[in-house]
């Protein structure tokens, strides 16, 4: 945890010692009264927190915030609904790499029953996004959905976006040399939508829908990757390269 994140509503109240963040502050960071550590507000600023007092039940903290952070480059992921464990890895790592929206979508070869997992119904998914943001020393959490079909998700995409879909079978252009990628960092003109198929890949009907909505099929090379690995590799190429 490189950054301890707080909801804005938590800032005025002491942090209970049973909270995992209190354990991290006291036992991992080894902070004591008067010490500071890096903190952030979810979808807000970063800054420093000072441990002003420590009781058997709670930590009292004071915060000093830095200037607002610039928004991340608009990056939307459309991902064929995967197994819950795969989704957990994607939620964490895609947040770390700066995704601003993640739509887990039902495709022809995705199992729609995965949407009933407790990952989604209990709200657990948000914890993995928080872990990803803390790892990245960032505060932004992506918008996440898991109820769209591919068709309804495609209908939500803004008109002015670069649209790329990873495909092992019909793509002829490597993602790393795709001429559609802008070399300008950030900004609306560099908005990207990246589609990644489910664990069984795109069906013909999915490819037809993607092409009809302006997507170019690209690939990551000859090796077949796990969905979670493909997401990380594609985001690294498009946003960190």
Query: Tell me: the pLDDT tens digits for 89-126?
Result: 999 999 999 999 999 999 999 999 999 999 999 999 99
Select, from the ranges 38-52, 60-74, 181-195, the one with the highest average predicted confidence (pLDDT): 38-52
> Where in the chain are all domains bearing CATH 3.40.1280.10?
75-240
Task: Kindly indicate the confidence band of residue 240, based on its pLDDT and cuts at 50, 70 and 90.
Answer: confident
List pLDDT tens digits, range 111-165. Answer: 999 999 999 999 999 999 999 999 999 999 999 999 999 999 999 998 889 999 9
> For residue 104, which of 175, 199, 226, 205 has the smallest C-alpha distance?
199
Residues of the chain with CATH 2.40.240.20: 4-65
Closest CA to 181 of 228, 173, 227: 173
Q: Residue 179 — very low, low, confident or very high, per pLDDT cuts 50/70/90?
A: low
> Is the CATH number 3.40.1280.10 carried by domain 75-240?
yes
Query: What is the CATH class of 4-65?
Result: mainly beta
**String of DSSP letters for the chain:** --SEEE-GGGTTS-EETTSHHHHIIIIIS---TT-EEEEEETTS-EEEEEEEEE-SSEEEEEEEE-SPPPPPP-EEEEEE---HHHHHHHHHHHHHTT-SEEEEEB-TTS-GGGGGSHHHHTSTHHHHHHHHHHHTT-----EEE---BHHHHHTTS-SS-EEEEE-SSS--EEGGG-TTS--S-SSGGG-EEEEE--TT---HHHHHHHHHTTPEEEES-SS---HHHHHHHHHIIIII-
Q: Note the pTM of the prediction, 2 decimals.
A: 0.91
């Amino acid at each position: 945890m490189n950054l301890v994140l707080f909801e804005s509503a938590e800032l005025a109240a002491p942090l209970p010692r049973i909270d995992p963040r209190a354990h991290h502050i006291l036992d991992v960071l080894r902070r004591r009264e008067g010490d500071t550590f890096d903190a952030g507000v979810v979808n807000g600023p970063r800054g420093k927190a000072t441990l002003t007092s420590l009781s058997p039940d709670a930590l009292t903290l004071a915060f000093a915030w830095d200037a607002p952070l610039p928004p991340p480059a608009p990056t939307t992921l459309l991902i064929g609904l995967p197994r819950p464990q795969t989704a957990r890895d994607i939620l964490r790592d895609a947040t770390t790499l700066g995704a601003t929206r993640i739509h887990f979508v039902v495709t022809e070869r995705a199992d729609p029953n995965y949407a009933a997992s407790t990952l989604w119904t209990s709200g657990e998914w948000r914890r993995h996004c928080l872990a990803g943001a803390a790892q990245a020393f960032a505060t932004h959490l992506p918008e996440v959905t898991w109820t769209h079909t591919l068709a309804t998700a495609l209908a939500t995409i803004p008109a002015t976006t670069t649209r790329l879909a990873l495909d092992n079978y019909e793509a002829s252009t490597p993602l790393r040399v795709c001429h559609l990628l802008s070399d300008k960092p950030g900004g609306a003109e560099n908005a990207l939508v990246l589609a990644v198929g489910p664990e069984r890949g795109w069906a013909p009907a999915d490819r037809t829908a993607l092409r009809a909505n302006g997507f170019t099929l690209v690939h990551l090379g000859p090796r077949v990757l796990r969905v979670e690995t493909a997401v990380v590799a594609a985001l690294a190429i498009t946003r960190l390269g």
